[in-house]
Structure 1
Amino acid sequence: MNLHVELFRVEARQFGWSIRQHEDPAAMPVLHALHGWVLLTAGGTWTTHPPNQTTATRGVPA
């Protein structure tokens, strides 16, 4: 388990690094260090996700 995610849960949720059990991981944008906001796929890849209302409501600047 990533200690940073556990110590900074609010930040981890804002950046998509931690989600709740009832949330769909495929629908939750993740801030990737190289590619910006992305959506993860079931196949282990990702697709780009431009900043929008979803990321803005999480308290992350677009």
Structure 2
Amino acid sequence: MFGLNPFSRSVAITEILLLLLFIAFVGWLISQLVFRKRISKLLSRIEYEEAELHKCYKLTN
């Protein structure tokens, strides 16, 4: 198709490197989604705990 010999060493190495780069990029995207979700949950939990703490301060003062 492109005039490249698929059995040559340089083409094989290039294909492997491109596949590894693609897989690394997909893994990075997945990790970003997971960490954003976890950070969002932690921030909402912190807001909830701060609200509870504020209620306790109001009751004691």
- TM-score calculated relative to the size of structure 1: 0.18
Larger Rg belongs to: 2
- Which is helix-richer, 1 or 2? 2
Q: Which has the higher contact order (CA 8 A, sep 6+)?
A: 1
- Which is strand-richer, 1 or 2? 1
- TM-score calculated relative to the size of structure 2: 0.19
